[in-house]
Amino acid sequence: MLEPREGIPPVIADEAALAEVIAAFTAGSGPVAVDAERASGYRYGQRAYLVQLRREGAGSALIDPVACPDLSALGEALSGVEWVLHAATQDLPCLREIGMMPTRLFDTELAGRLAGFPRVGLGAMVESVLGYVLEKGHSAVDWSTRPLPEPWLRYAALDVELLVDLRDALEKELDRQGKLEWAREEFAAIAAAPPAEPRKDPWRRTSGMHKVRRRRQLAVVRELWQTRDRIAQKRDVSPGKVLSDAAIVEAALAMPGNVHALSALNGFGQRMGRRQLEQWQSAVDRAKALAESQLPSPGQPVTGPPPPRAWADKDPAAAARLSAARAAVSALAEQLDMPQENLITPDTVRRLCWEPPKVVDAESVAEALAGHGARAWQVEQVTPVLVAALSA
C-alpha cells in the first residue's frame, strides 16, 4: 500500500482546522485509530510531534501538536470511543501530555503477542494478517522537522490507514483461540494505569555502568550525567547528542586532573571547544571534591528479591522453587502459544518463589499473584502450575 485511500490529509496547524477535525471525528463511527510520532534521539524528552487519527466517516487526520499543543477537546470528543493503538504504552505518555487519554483501547501489538504471532511490529502484522506491505522507511526520522516532508506525511498517514482493519482481524483470531477476554483485561489494565513514576537515580542507567566500581567514580558519572541533562533540556536536544554515555564512563574511570587530560579521552577530543571541556572538567572536579558521606552507594537499594544468580547461595530452596516455576511457566506459555512475559511477568514469579505463602494451595497462590498485580485471566491460567512447582 503506497498511498492513503483519500490521499495525504493536510496537516492541522490552527484552531479553526482543529475544530473541524473534532466535529468530523465526533460524528464518525466505530473505533478510532491513533498514532503519534516522537523525535527520540533528536530532541529532549518524548513529546509528540505529529498525531495521526483515522475513523470511519471522518477519514484520516494529521495534527501538528507543536502548533496545537492542547488536544484535550479532541480527547474529550473521543471519550468512551475505543482507541486502536499499536504498542500503546509507547504512545500514551506523549498523548497524555497533550490532553489525550483513552478510556477504552485495543492494542494491536499486544493482541498479536497474545495470539502467538512471531513478529509483532506494525508492518509485519499488517503483512501477515491483512496481506498489505506498508512502507516503513521513516520511523526513525526527526519528526520535529518543519515543514514535514511529504514522504514522511504519507508514511504517517499509512500508519493509521489499516489499524482498525487489523484490530477487527485480530479480534476474530483472539476469539477463535479463546483469548479475547484475556486481551480485554490487558487492554483495560493499560487504559487504567496511572502515569509512570519518575525513575529514581536515572543516571544509574548510563550505558556501560557495570565497569564503574568505586563510589568516587560513580559520583563522576552522576555529576556528568546531571550536567549533560541540564544542557540537553535547555537546548532541547537528545542528551546523547550533547555527550555520549561512553564518554561519561570513560571520564569516570580515568578521573582526569585537568582539561588537557580530559581532552585526550574518547568522546572529549576532536571538535569539542575549550569552554565545553571546562564545563565537563568542572563536573569531574565537583565529584572529586565531595565528602565521603555525599558519595553515591555502589548499588541501588534493592526492593524485592535479590538477583536470581545469588539465590543458590542465599536460599537454595528458593532457587529450586524458581527453577521449577520457570520451567512450568515456560511449558504453559508454549502450550498457550504466547510469550512467557505476557502470560505472567518474570518479576511476579520471582517474588512469589522468594516469599511463597506459608500454606501453598490454589487460594493462597492466587491471592499472592493478584497482590503482585496479575490480571484475573493470568491468575486462573498460572495458579495450577505454580502450586505444583512450589509444592515440588
The yes-or-no verdict on residue 343 having pLDDT over 90 is yes
Structure letter (DSSP) for residue 128: I
* Residue 80, phi-psi category: left (phi > 0), alpha (psi -120 to 50), beta (remainder): left
State which fold the 308-391 domain adopts: DNA polymerase; domain 1 (1.10.150)
Residue 2's pLDDT is 84
How much is the average pLDDT of 254-258?
Answer: 96
Check: CATH 1.10.150.80 for 202-289?
Answer: yes
Confidence of residue 302 (pLDDT cuts 50, 70, 90): low
Q: Look over the chain and give the mean of its residue pLDDT values, rounded to a whole number.
A: 95
Look up residue 369 and give its three cell numbers. Answer: 499473584
pLDDT, tens only, 323-342: 999 999 999 999 999 999 99
Q: Is the pTM of this model over 0.95?
A: no
How much is the average pLDDT of 130-144?
Answer: 87
Cβ atoms of 83 and 34 closer than 8 Å: yes
Residue 360's pLDDT is 95
Radius of gyration of the chain (CA): 25
Please state, as a whole number, how many other Cβ atoms lie within 10 Å of the Cβ of residue 189: 11
Q: What share of the chain has pLDDT > 90, as a percent?
A: 92
Considering only 146-160, 289-303, 357-371, which range has the smallest mean pLDDT?
A: 289-303
Considering only 131-140, 176-185, 238-247, 372-381, which range has the smallest mean pLDDT?
A: 131-140
Place of cell 490521499: 7
The yes-or-no verdict on residue 270 having pLDDT over 80 is no
Location of each CATH 3.30.420.10 domain in the chain: 11-192
pLDDT, tens only, 176-232: 999 999 999 999 999 999 998 888 999 999 999 999 999 999 999 999 999 999 999
Cβ atoms of 85 and 105 closer than 8 Å: yes
Reference 61, options 7, 106, 97; nearest CA is 7
How much is the average pLDDT of 263-284?
Answer: 91
Residue 137's pLDDT is 72
The yes-or-no verdict on residue 261 having pLDDT over 80 is yes
Check: CATH 3.30.420.10 for 11-192?
Answer: yes
pLDDT, tens only, 76-115: 999 999 999 999 999 999 999 999 999 999 999 999 999 9
Residue 140's pLDDT is 85
Reference 58, options 6, 96, 108, 107; nearest CA is 6
Location of each CATH 1.10.150.80 domain in the chain: 202-289, 308-391
pLDDT, tens only, 5-57: 999 999 999 999 999 999 999 999 999 999 999 999 999 999 999 999 999 99
The yes-or-no verdict on residue 301 having pLDDT over 80 is no
Look up residue 234 and give its three cell numbers. Answer: 535547555
